[in-house]
Amino acid sequence: MAQAVKSIKGVHDILPESVHTWHHLENHVREVMRGYGYREIRTPILEKSELFHRSIGEVTDIVEKEMYTFEDRNGDYLSLRPENTASCVRAAIQHGMLTNNQVSRIWYLGPMFRRENPQAGRYRQFWQVGAEVYGVAGPYVESELILLSARLWQQLGLQEHVSLQINSLGSTEDRDRYRARLVEYLNDHIDELDEDSKRRLTSNPLRVLDTKNPAMHNVVSQAPVLLDDLSPESSEHFDKLQSALSTCGIGFEINTRLVRGLDYYSHTVFEWVTHGLGAQGTVCAGGRYDGLTEQLGAKPTPGVGWALGMERILELIARSAEPATEPEPEIFMVLGSEQAIVSGLELAEAIRNAEPQWSVTCSCAVSGMKSQFKKADKSRAKVALIIADNELENNTVGVKSLRQKQDQQTVPRDQVVSVLRNEFLTPQ
């Protein structure tokens, strides 16, 4: 026999038995997004590589080593999206969502791709939910986005398991001033820097602060702090964010080392972190990116957003919150012969017409009644409907609860739906 083909390393199937946990998260996401007036956008998984080079930045882990890129037949370089903010901004520009000072509140959900070292909480295909707002400057829309995420944690029962860290990266001028101080400090400690950081010292020194190398922890933790040297305007922005969050009852911690891995952030950056997941503790991250629209060829427009890692949130739910239960199917049809199968298919259609929300499974293969009853039990259905020779002859249907020890009832075929409604499947 030929060897079976397996999935790629770091890329996972989501099997039928766990898909309900995804639906649970997705349903809450949809509800919360609607509650804040955000509308869903679906952008392509495949984009021109240039989009990510221009937005995320050349000197980032993602662009340097994590993108899945290939040359198309016409010579274009295409990449599987490693994140979705760039695509959202591209779509917003392309479809005129940023003209005439419009405000757009959008959200998305979908798979992202990064060639990282696969480990718990870090995959090569992973799913993100994100929210983005264009056209609103200032701290209050940042507050709204944080409130939205906090409400989602509350809906999912995670509020006790996540905490918020915030920081300000200031304006471009603030960062230019800071960069000079940082470079001086890092040059003084050049022997302690790893190879990546030495390279970044000249190309993008702020990125050195975002290192994941534990050996760099000491040098990074002693580095000068950007927050100490913000302009009065940037400080005011950050202060207003903090007081809005406090007024709305959102606790937070200022983490002066929080810089975020991508080039496009300015002013507020934030992360929701947890102790419940070991090393991969960031479950949601975001910030303001006012410069991004200009980088992508449109007029400057304020932008702010966040993205959460769905696998990490689902793992946190599994470990710390009420797990979602899979809805049970209503009906399993046990059908005793070929003729009974056809009659069962017809009856199942009539039942679905009457009660479209009921789940009805027909045993479509000719097999013994005993094995079909076993399948009915295994399906976790609440009721079995039985058609065999006797029922065919008398135009009746057997109805049997798969939950209570009760005898099978014989019901005229045209009364099956009302008997099910009244006696077996009454809404709780």
Name the site residues for ligand ATP (rule: CB under 6 A): 83, 114, 116, 121-123, 126, 128, 261, 280, 282-285, 307-309, 311-312
CA–CA distance, 316 with 313 (Å, rounded to integer): 5
For the record, the structure tokens of 148 come out as: 């939205």
Find the helix or strand (DSSP H, E) in which 385 lies.
strand 383-387
For the record, the structure tokens of 383 come out as: 């009721």
- CA angle (304 as vertex; 298, 308 as ends), nearest 5: 125
**Residue 126 in 3-state DSSP?**
strand
Q: 275 or 370, CB closer to ligand ATP?
A: 275
For the record, the structure tokens of 179 come out as: 């960069």
Q: 234 or 274, CB closer to ligand ATP?
A: 274
Q: 57 or 336, CB closer to ligand ATP?
A: 57
Provide the minimum distance between the beta carbon of 199 and ligand ATP in the complex, in angstroms, as a whole number. 19
Among candidates 214, 182, 200, 256, which has minimal Cα distance to 60? 200
Single-letter residue type at 93: I
Provide the minimum distance between the beta carbon of 83 and ligand ATP in the complex, in angstroms, as a whole number. 5
Question: Would you state the torsion angle of the CA atoms of residues 249, 250, 255, 256, taken in this order, to the nearest 10 degrees?
Answer: -60
Provide the minimum distance between the beta carbon of 297 and ligand ATP in the complex, in angstroms, as a whole number. 23
List the beta bridge partners of residue 254: 166
- Please report which residue ranges of 225-337 form alpha helices under DSSP H: 232-247, 292-295, 310-320
Which conformational region is residue 138 in: left (phi greater than 0), alpha (psi within -120 to 50 degrees), or beta? left
Provide the minimum distance between the beta carbon of 121 and ligand ATP in the complex, in angstroms, as a whole number. 6
Provide the minimum distance between the beta carbon of 215 and ligand ATP in the complex, in angstroms, as a whole number. 17
The DSSP call for residue 290 is: T
205 within 8 A of 193, measured Cβ to Cβ = no
Q: 226 or 307, CB closer to ligand ATP?
A: 307
Q: 61 or 330, CB closer to ligand ATP?
A: 61
Q: 174 or 271, CB closer to ligand ATP?
A: 271
CA–CA distance, 143 with 246 (Å, rounded to integer): 10
Provide the minimum distance between the beta carbon of 324 and ligand ATP in the complex, in angstroms, as a whole number. 19
Q: 133 or 283, CB closer to ligand ATP?
A: 283
Provide the minimum distance between the beta carbon of 318 and ligand ATP in the complex, in angstroms, as a whole number. 15
Provide the minimum distance between the beta carbon of 303 and ligand ATP in the complex, in angstroms, as a whole number. 15
Q: 285 or 334, CB closer to ligand ATP?
A: 285
Q: 175 or 207, CB closer to ligand ATP?
A: 207
- Residue environment code for 255-267, b if the CB has 16+ CB neighbours within 10 A, otherwise e: bbebbbbbbbbbb
Q: 38 or 264, CB closer to ligand ATP?
A: 264
Token match 């029922």: residue? 391
Provide the minimum distance between the beta carbon of 278 and ligand ATP in the complex, in angstroms, as a whole number. 12
Q: Residue with the closest Cβ to ligand ATP?
A: 309
Provide the minimum distance between the beta carbon of 125 and ligand ATP in the complex, in angstroms, as a whole number. 8
Residue 343 phi/psi, 5-degree rounding, is: -65, -35
First and final CA of the chain: distance in angstroms? 51
Q: 86 or 392, CB closer to ligand ATP?
A: 86
Question: What is the Cα 22 distance to its own chain's centre?
Answer: 9
The CB density around residue 226, as the number of other CB atoms within 10 Å, is 24
CA–CA distance, 178 with 173 (Å, rounded to integer): 9
Find the helix or strand (DSSP H, E) in which 252 lies.
none
Provide the minimum distance between the beta carbon of 373 and ligand ATP in the complex, in angstroms, as a whole number. 43
For the record, the structure tokens of 143 come out as: 């507050």
